[in-house]
Chains A and B, each alone.
Chain A
Amino acid sequence: MPDQLLFAIEVTMNGLMAGVLYALVALGFVLIFKASGIFNYAQGVMALFAAMTLVGIQNGQVPFAHLINAVFGTEVHHFGWHVPAILAILLTACVMVLFAWIVERYVLKHLVGQPDIILFMATIGLAYFMEGFGDLMWGADIKKLDVGLPQGGSFWLEENTAWLGGEGFYGFFIDKLDMVATVVAAILVASLVAFSQYTKQGRAMRAVADDHQAALSVGVSLRFIWVLVWSLAGFVALVAGIMWGAKSGVQFSLSLIALKALPVLMLGGFTSIPGAIVGGLIIGVGEKLFEFLIGAPFLGGATENWFAYMLALLFLVFRPQGLFGEKIIERV
């Protein structure tokens, strides 16, 4: 096989893996948007907050240490223990559920029936609040997240694929973390789909997503479903936070991955779980291949920064509901 083609295949595979990570973030948006029509601007910050909390719990950090020290003149930093990764992840999941409950109880409940833009503004407020609250709770320094996921290129894959090409080809380079992320994302999506299709709570969730009034009339509590949906979105944020955090450290820029999820949503449609996955993969592969084939040779590179948004713009013009979204038909 010509080396050029092999490189293109490698780029495509890496694009797919990157796409999975985009899809993970987009998934959180879709869950909340479907069930409540709210575009949750805070989704990215939720991923950051979840990652910070996970690191904090794992390292036995004292929450609000700076605040406590400043008020009481103490010198506390760490409890001096380390929590195993699995337990820390479970505890963080509990924190995200608690967070979902608080959001419903103190924010959403008071905004029922308000126009969408008000709810959107509320989530912007929520995003800034969480960002500050997270810093206050766990400190604003860049943290290393290590839950024992394998990292670095897979030598096995490189060695066993090197024969495909000639002298200049050393085999496919794929980060092990990306592979893990792909497997985790696949499991996560499969269980989310199974949950919404086959369980009582999942059916109730779909009912609420479809029609609030009808859902009430068959005995579904909207408030319970909203807590459930925000918990699920929090859980998805946690998974995204772990993957991105392990890749590039837990820091403020983590919350900006939410911006990458926007074009994914425009491609896949705001209301479709499979759409979020396919949209993520298309963006991931698209931006890597575009950079490889056109960007680097002809445009001076760095096209990855804007390619996704250009693609989203094209979709907005020609297919505003996305690939899988519900077609919007207004009756006149």
Chain B
Amino acid sequence: MRVLVTGASGLLGAVTAKAIAGRGHEIVVFQRRPSGLPFDEVRGDLLDDEALVRALVGVDGVVHLAAKVSITGSRSEFESVNVEGTRQLLRLAKAAGVRNFVYVSSPSVAHDGMPIIGSGALPANPQTARGWYSVTKAQAEIRALAADEPDFAVVAIRPHLVWGPGDEQLIGRIIARARAGRLFLIDHGVALIDTTYVENAASALAAAIEQVAEPEVHGRAFVVTNGEPRTVAEILTQITRAAGLPAPTRSVPFGAAYRAGQLAELAWGSRGAEPPLTRFLVEQLATAHWFDQRPTRAALAWTPQVRLATGFELLTNWYQQR
């Protein structure tokens, strides 16, 4: 099958494109910047019909990763990329005769700030999702699943906290803060959270594009994780150690961190810069969210191949070689 991967300039997009290619599929990637990947490439914007049409020529399946993921930004910025962009892609893909569509979503589309303790993929809810990123991803997921029909199978895959060597989203930020001596725990980092090593997220997406037309798969949403929940404290310790930095020891209470996040959003937001802390981030770092992986593994006929411990070793090696 010929598969279009959007957003391949990011870490997950690139690893996913390689994983799908590794299963014997033909790849075309689509993003604004050059990807540097050894695949057919169309560069452009999601709102650029003409570029999308070109990218979709002869394509059987789409894995849609492209999105605005930053912490800051206005509602309209998020909406235009995440909601409108997805709508455009769905419409044009269907018109181009694409039969399989994987929408890459996020567990935050169903996270209302309360702890998630072992549950499956709950319905996306833009009303309760936290922050514009989550709200717009929820809107887009609902739209994508609504487009599921007999000749156009759609599945939403929600990888949770993806990390790996070279990741700037999560690992990069944590290490930067640790280097600056500004990494601390909230409420001692006791919340239990799931994370996903990047290769596992990529193999799950590769499995999804192959399985999407199966009756128990299309039209549904699945959370993807390593299935090895750990405390925030343990994860931050492992990541900082991999980079040869001391583990965080300082802890601040939730309330103080939340207020600090609020202030930071105001202060940095007015300058249009990314604040060092947001309320959303504080909640994410202080609240349990781990999931039921049984439905995902059964439906996608997939299991994560890289265990957490191995992932941290690979991360350590990567930092040592730099």
The answer to whether A and B belong to the same complex is: no
